[in-house]
Chains A and B, each alone.
Chain A
């Protein structure tokens, strides 16, 4: 069967299975063929579980034959960042320390996708322990950007964004502690959703900073992203931080009118200081939403540095605490600069950590009131530059010091505030690389964020933009 199937959107692929125009096995075989072929250039996978995927696809087709449809993802091939437990399968966390780790149980989000009928092709590439935005990984090497193979895919959910953009799978899960879903989605031209804190279970997912970690979907369209989000959202008794809010019916609201919606936008002065392609993406967003009848409202830009520092007071000690024993006993198995980054939290005073957690609710309430008292959502940059070249990033590593540039400047603060945010692809820039903006909303406003992303891509014809022809 032709690999043309791989270029369908997730929703179109699910519909094709449902209407018996294709089968789960056909889709899975096409995606597996493409995934294997792309490994040399894109390196999106850490583990390709062809046997498991084909067995699941055959079961899905058998169920379909007797009319037993499992759910809205029946027969659709996905794959996920290699940090979600799958019973019996190797799950590495992108690290040499866990190169042969095989968990006994399956993460809640994977069980929910299984229940919805999805097929899991394997574990996707990721930054070592999800703690760098460059996708650097010494276990299998970094994932490459499908749009330009000499450039990074971003991180830490590098393989998730790369696999989706390269049409190796129809969607993927990543994790976002400071931008790890939104950044690679932006650099690879995909839609990436950071859900509200507590919206999606993290049970069975690798912990990096439990107070900030979130699980989110990456897909080629807002509708695809909405379907994945709906499948994984909702309370989970196994995750004490999950919130008892029923998952919303996001897909039905994607075409809602945006009149009377107010979009908070940064000042022209702020945008003028951005890299030109980033500023152009912001302008495209503002202009599009104005055409829909939404009202742009100028708002103060977040204090990125202050809020990011506050997030670091939480993230660094939690990372260090989780790795503390291994950092001393198995130090040589970490990349040296990753080891030092994980160790840096040992120097954060306990009083800063406690204070940062204690003031969180009040700071969030004040800032939400400030920004979202005027607007329904904020339109902001998501990345600081287009995908850098891999050799430039590697050149910046100086012994035990990580690459110097701060790709996560615009993303880390939202995790501290617990707010949802979505990366919206905004087309290709002058270098033919993806550009994007992000929309940040008030807690549990994912339906609005997906609605805005969907309306933008429909108006600008950016939906399902992909690098299929570059593989």
Chain B
């Protein structure tokens, strides 16, 4: 069984399976560099056809797509 989204082929980079408690205790604040590193797998997927204006129509399409 896939444990995280990364295990099934989607981009990742985060800390998977890490406990909330541990993260809380780590008291970390993501620096700009760390933030970029974590987001990069998604940001790097930017394709020529992607546009910011697509979001609301995309939500409407997802709402009407067939249920499982």
Of A245, A381, A385, A402, the residue contacting B24 (CB under 8 A) is A385
Question: Of A38-46, A85-93, A308-316, which stretch is located at the interface?
Answer: A308-316
Asked whether A274 and B38 contact (CB < 8 A) given A300-B5, A303-B12, the answer is: no
CB distance from B23 to the nearest CB of A (A): 6
Tell me which residues across on chain A come within 8 A of B57, comparing CB atoms.
361
Contact between chains at A352 and B21 (CB < 8 Å): no
CB distance from B17 to the nearest CB of A (A): 6
Query: Interface code A281-305, partner B: CB below 8 Å = 1, 0 otherwise?
Result: 0000000000000000010111111
Contact between chains at B24 and A406 (CB < 8 Å): yes
Contact between chains at B50 and A362 (CB < 8 Å): yes
CB distance from A175 to the nearest CB of B (A): 19
Contact between chains at A243 and B60 (CB < 8 Å): yes
Asked whether A300 and B43 contact (CB < 8 A) given A274-B20, A305-B14, A306-B38, the answer is: no
Contact between chains at B15 and A305 (CB < 8 Å): yes
CB distance from A410 to the nearest CB of B (A): 7
CB distance from A405 to the nearest CB of B (A): 5
Query: Interface code B48-61, partner A: CB below 8 Å = 1, 0 otherwise?
Result: 00111011111111
**Chain B residue nearest to A405 in the complex (CB):** B24
**Chain B interface bracket (under 10, 10 to 19, 20 to 34, 35 or more):** 35 or more
Contact between chains at A367 and B63 (CB < 8 Å): no
Contact between chains at B43 and A359 (CB < 8 Å): yes
Query: Interface code A339-374, partner B: CB below 8 Å = 1, 0 otherwise?
Result: 000001001110010111111111111111010111
Of B18, B21, B50, the residue contacting A359 (CB under 8 A) is B50
Which B residues, 28 to 60, have Cβ-Cβ distances below 8 Å to chain A?
28-30, 32, 34-39, 41-43, 45-47, 50-52, 54-60
Tell me which residues across on chain B come within 8 A of A361, comparing CB atoms.
50, 54-55, 57-58
Asked whether A418 and B59 contact (CB < 8 A) given A303-B12, A404-B29, the answer is: yes
**Chain B residue nearest to A419 in the complex (CB):** B59
Tell me which residues across on chain B come within 8 A of A249, comparing CB atoms.
none
- In the bound complex, CA of A445 to CA of B60 (Å): 11
**Chain B residue nearest to A196 in the complex (CB):** B59
Contact between chains at A352 and B5 (CB < 8 Å): no
Contact between chains at B39 and A352 (CB < 8 Å): yes
Contact between chains at B60 and A356 (CB < 8 Å): no
Question: Of A107-115, A123-131, A262-270, A320-328, which stretch is located at the interface?
Answer: A262-270
Contact between chains at B68 and A372 (CB < 8 Å): yes
Query: Interface code A267-283, partner B: CB below 8 Å = 1, 0 otherwise?
Result: 10110011100100000
Tell me which residues across on chain A come within 8 A of B27, comparing CB atoms.
396, 404-405
- In the bound complex, CA of A309 to CA of B43 (Å): 10
CB distance from B52 to the nearest CB of A (A): 4
Tell me which residues across on chain B come within 8 A of A418, comparing CB atoms.
55, 59
Contact between chains at B59 and A306 (CB < 8 Å): no
Contact between chains at A384 and B23 (CB < 8 Å): yes
- In the bound complex, CA of A370 to CA of B28 (Å): 29
Judged by a CB distance under 8 angstroms, whether A69 is at the interface is no
Contact between chains at B59 and A300 (CB < 8 Å): no
Contact between chains at A313 and B35 (CB < 8 Å): yes
Chain A CB within 10 Å — which of B3, B13, B56 has the most? B56
28 A-B residue pairings within 8 Å (CB atoms): A196-B59, A197-B56, A245-B60, A303-B11, A306-B12, A306-B13, A306-B14, A306-B41, A309-B14, A309-B36, A309-B37, A310-B38, A310-B39, A313-B35, A352-B39, A352-B43, A356-B42, A358-B50, A359-B47, A361-B58, A362-B45, A363-B45, A370-B5, A372-B68, A384-B20, A405-B24, A418-B55, A443-B62
Known: A305-B38, A306-B11, A309-B30. 9 other contacts (CB 8 A): A278-B20, A301-B16, A303-B12, A306-B13, A309-B37, A359-B43, A365-B58, A375-B68, A444-B59
